[in-house]
């Protein structure tokens, strides 16, 4: 049991930094700072209110120091846990605990990446693993492709079904003015695109963009007096199952099963109670795996589930409403953007892609090669 | 635990240099451990024995990586019969023809230049078929 309390903290501010291909010379700390200033402006707080600083990036070894210096703050609480793209969902749990125990009063969670500008090789330096590196895997794509091969083998999942995930994401992205991709996409185009790691073509794989952002968290009491309606953390869960794909116990069952269970239990909710679903779609198979492991469909049925536009705009389950890592943006560690979109959906700020009447949202983060999973369930004041 | 004179990797590599695929056995957990390490992740025991695999296994998962330059190549996860899994490559067969369930046999990829020897696999029967 985690000890976190349902509704024990709220997200009060959320913002992206510049996205896509940012101005020359921008550092990851510039992007984090830009995201923080925008997120604070979003809720009406200022830098001097921030006494909890949480951040992660692959491009600054001591980002917590660099960001503190840059902002001119000496945070009472600091956390730079970095375990891949789900780090920010883990951070939400840490921020919640820090707020509940009085370690800080206002926490910001920030991210920045310039991987498109500087190139992936420089943004995320590969570690040598003597048991994997000799086989020259493209990481992470080869690892996720291995998981996809297993899903296809065990459940008959097809490349067309995986392509449907990319097509749905693109349809959502066309409703998001800041999305990187601007043109429609078909299943045929996904299948016919350049092959990267079978069964994935480049269209089954997330974008490589720059970007960053921040969210602001505080106590439910303080949240009530701020600019925007608070979005409460109803549930939180986390699970680490492995680091390298060759050590993943079962390639078709992820830690989302455990993290989701914890989050649902804490929230007192089930999959059927969730209005908006934001899943870390680094690859098309991810959406399928997480829909299954988080209980939106039975194990093995994810491929069939995503067909026929079910998760696209106008479908019965809105999934990745910003266009996802596949079509909106993917600056390396994407988890924070799922939280930002979930917050905006619950505030009703999403214009043409708004899910009407959304009261609950799930933001599920994935890190490494399906290695670290963390689930955050959010709700409006009506859910408290 | 006394100070180690050799790292787990060095012992593993020395076995490979002899043409053997080695793994660890944890008597306390009653199961194989791979990759080699100083503590058993299943039992927390530091008593780990070295054993040599018979070199037979089954493809658990497979993909074909397409580099920007050069020919596509296979990457597979192989479950060895002794109960451990490793990443490897199945050779002597079209990479797209590598199938989950296929029986494969260990073969040494010899050291070249700075690169140490490492294990690869080939289909266990010459026809390259035999998916379970």
Intra-chain end-to-end CA distance of chain B, in Å: 43
At CB < 8 A and 24+ separation, what contacts does A350-354 make? A350/A321, A351/A175, A352/A175, A353/A172, A353/A175, A353/A176, A353/A313, A353/A321, A353/A322
- State how far the Cα of A258 lies from the Cα of A373, in Å rounded to an integer: 9
ipTM of the complex: 0.96
SS percent in chain B: helix, strand, coil, step 5 = 10, 40, 50
Least confident of A1-10, A111-120, B5-14: A1-10
- Considering only CB atoms, which chain B residues are within 8 Å of A137? 65, 75, 87
- Kindly state whether B78 is in contact with chain A, defined as any CB-CB distance less than 8 angstroms: no
Whether the bond into B35 is cis, omega within 30 of 0: yes
A360-367 and A372-379 as β-strands: parallel, antiparallel, unpaired? antiparallel
**Above 90 in pLDDT, residue A349?**
yes
A245 with B65: Cβ contact below 8 A: no
Query: Does the beta carbon of B111 lie under 8 angstroms from any beta carbon of chain A?
Result: no
Task: Say if residue A293's pLDDT is above 90.
Answer: yes
Q: pLDDT-derived band of residue B128, with 50, 70 and 90 as boundaries?
A: very low
Whether A34 and chain B come into contact, CB under 8 Å, resolves to no
The residue ranges of every structural domain in chain B are 8-52, 56-123
Q: What is the pLDDT of residue A127?
A: 87
The structure tokens 């073969």 sit at B107
Residue B127 pLDDT: 60
| Structural domains in chain A plus CATH codes | 10-121+207-383 (3.40.47.10)
Query: What is the DSSP code string of A103-144?
Result: S-SEEEEEEEE-HHHH-HHHHSPPPP-TTTGGG---TTHHHH
- Look at residues A211, A182, A190 and name the one whose alpha carbon lies nearest to residue A285: A190
Give dist(CA A361, CA A366) in Å, integer.
17
pLDDT number for residue A125 = 81
- For an interface test with B, give the residue of A119, A120, A134 to mutate (most B CBs within 10 A): A134
- Residue A171, min C-alpha distance to chain B (Å): 28
Confirm if A161 and A307 have CB atoms less than 8 A apart.
Answer: yes
Q: pLDDT of A123-153, one tens digit each?
A: 888 889 999 999 999 999 999 999 999 999 9
On whether any CB of chain A is under 8 Å from the CB of B94, the answer is no
Least confident span in A33-47, A99-113, A295-309, B113-127: B113-127
pLDDT confidence band for B3 (50 / 70 / 90): confident
Of B62, B67, B77, the CB nearest to A246: B77
Residues of A in contact with B83 (CB under 8 A): none
| Residue in B75, B76, B88 to test binding to A, most A beta-carbons within 10 Å | B75
Distances (CA, A) of A241 to A190, A288, B31, B36, B51: 30, 18, 19, 18, 26
Q: Which residues of A touch B62 (CB under 8 A)?
A: 146, 149
Can you tell me the mean pLDDT for A14-29? Answer: 97
Residue with tokens 């992936």: A120
For A225-231, what is the mean pLDDT?
A: 97
Which residues on adjacent β-strands are paired with residue B59?
B78
- Long-range contacts, stretch A124-129, CB < 8 angstroms, 24+ apart: A124/A58, A124/A332, A125/A58, A129/A244
In this predicted structure, the answer to whether residue B1 has a pLDDT above a threshold of 80 is no
pLDDT (0 to 100) of residue B126? 67
pLDDT of residue A278: 98
Tokens for A134? 């000799």
Chain A contact present for B97, CB below 8 A: no
Contacts of B101 in chain A (CB under 8 A): 153
Contact indicator for A329, A337 with CB cutoff of 8 Å: yes
B31: DSSP letter: E
Query: pLDDT per residue over A48-64, tens digit each?
Result: 999 999 999 999 999 99
Query: What pLDDT shows up at residue A291?
Result: 98
pLDDT at A65 over 80: yes
Determine contact: A142 vs chain B, CB below 8 A: yes
Does the beta-carbon distance from A195 to B85 stay under 8 Å? no
How far does B11 lie from chain A, in Å, by closest CA?
13
When CB atoms are compared, the residue of A130, A135, A196 closest to B88 is: A135
Give the nearest partner residue to B75 out of A142, A153, A244, using CB atoms.
Answer: A142
What letter does residue B71 receive in the DSSP assignment? Answer: -
Helix (H), strand (E) at residue B118: strand B118-123
Instruction: Give the mean pLDDT of chain A.
Output: 97
Half-sphere exposure of A139 (CA within 13 A, CB side): 24
**Chain A residues within 8 A of B96 when measuring between CB atoms:** 198
Q: What is the pLDDT of residues A157-209, one digit of tens each?
A: 999 999 999 999 999 999 999 999 999 999 999 999 999 999 999 999 999 99
- Cα-based angle B79, B81, B82 (whole degrees, multiple of 5): 105
CA dist A148 and A152 (Å) reads 6
Q: Which residue of B has its CA nearest to A244?
A: B87
C-beta of residue A367 within 8 angstroms of C-beta of residue A81? no
Is the domain covering B56-123 a CATH 2.40.50 domain?
yes
Q: How far is CA A279 from CA A165, A175, A266, A318, in A?
A: 11, 18, 19, 11
- Provide mean pLDDT across the span A231-242: 98
Q: Contact B100/A138, CB-based, under 8 Å?
A: no
Check if A133 contacts B (Cβ < 8 Å). no
First to last CA, chain A: 21
Cα A36 vs. chain centroid, distance in angstroms?
17
């Amino acid at each position: 049991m985690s000890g976190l309390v349902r509704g024990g903290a709220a997200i009060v501010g959320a913002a992206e930094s510049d996205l896509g291909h940012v101005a020359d010379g921008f550092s990851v700390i510039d992007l984090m700072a830009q995201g923080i200033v925008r997120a604070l402006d979003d809720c009406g707080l200022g830098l001097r209110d921030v006494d909890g600083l949480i951040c992660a990036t692959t491009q600054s070894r001591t980002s917590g120091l660099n960001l503190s210096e840059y902002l001119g703050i000496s945070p009472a609480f600091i956390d730079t846990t970095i375990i891949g793209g789900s780090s920010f969902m883990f951070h939400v749990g840490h921020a919640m605990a820090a707020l509940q125990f009085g370690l800080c009063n206002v926490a910001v969670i920030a991210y920045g990446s310039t991987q498109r500008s500087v190139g992936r090789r420089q943004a995320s330096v590969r570690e040598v693993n003597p048991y994997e590196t000799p086989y020259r895997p493209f990481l992470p794509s080869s690892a996720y492709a291995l998981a996809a091969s297993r899903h296809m083998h065990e459940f008959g999942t097809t490349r067309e079904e995986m392509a449907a995930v990319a097509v749905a994401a693109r349809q959502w992205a066309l409703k998001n003015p800041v999305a990187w991709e601007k043109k429609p996409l078909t299943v045929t185009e996904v299948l016919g695109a350049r092959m990267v790691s079978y069964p994935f073509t480049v269209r089954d794989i997330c974008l490589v963009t720059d970007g960053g952002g921040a969210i602001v968290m505080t106590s439910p009491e303080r949240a009530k007096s701020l600019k925007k309606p608070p979005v409460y953390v109803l549930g939180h869960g986390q699970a680490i199952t492995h680091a390298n794909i060759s050590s993943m116990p079962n390639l078709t069952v992820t830690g989302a099963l455990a993290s989701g269970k914890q989050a649902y239990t804490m929230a007192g909710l089930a999959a059927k109670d969730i209005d908006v679903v934001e899943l870390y779609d680094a690859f098309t198979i991810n959406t399928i795996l997480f829909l299954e492991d988080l209980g939106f469909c039975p194990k093995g049925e994810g491929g069939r589930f995503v067909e026929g536009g079910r998760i696209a705009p106008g479908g019965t389950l809105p999934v990745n409403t910003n266009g996802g890592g596949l079509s909106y943006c993917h600056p390396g560690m994407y988890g924070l953007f799922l939280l930002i979109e979930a917050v905006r959906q619950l505030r009703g700020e999403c214009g043409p892609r708004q899910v009407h009447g959304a009261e609950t949202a799930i933001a599920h983060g994935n890190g490494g090669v399906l290695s670290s999973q963390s689930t955050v369930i959010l709700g409006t004041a009506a859910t408290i | 635990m006394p100070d180690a004179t050799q790292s787990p990797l060095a012992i593993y590599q020395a076995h490979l240099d002899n043409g053997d695929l080695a793994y660890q056995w944890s008597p306390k957990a009653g199961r194989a451990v791979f990759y080699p390490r100083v503590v058993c992740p299943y039992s927390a025991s530091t008593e780990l024995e070295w054993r040599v695999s018979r070199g037979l296994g089954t493809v658990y998962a497979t993909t074909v990586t397409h580099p920007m330059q050069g020919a596509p190549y296979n990457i597979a996860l192989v479950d060895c019969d002794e109960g451990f899994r490793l990443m490897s490559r199945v050779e002597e067969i079209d990479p797209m023809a590598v199938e989950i369930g296929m029986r494969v046999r260990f073969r040494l990829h010899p050291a070249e230049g700075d690169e140490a020897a490492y294990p690869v696999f080939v289909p266990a029967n010459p026809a390259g078929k035999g998916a379970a």
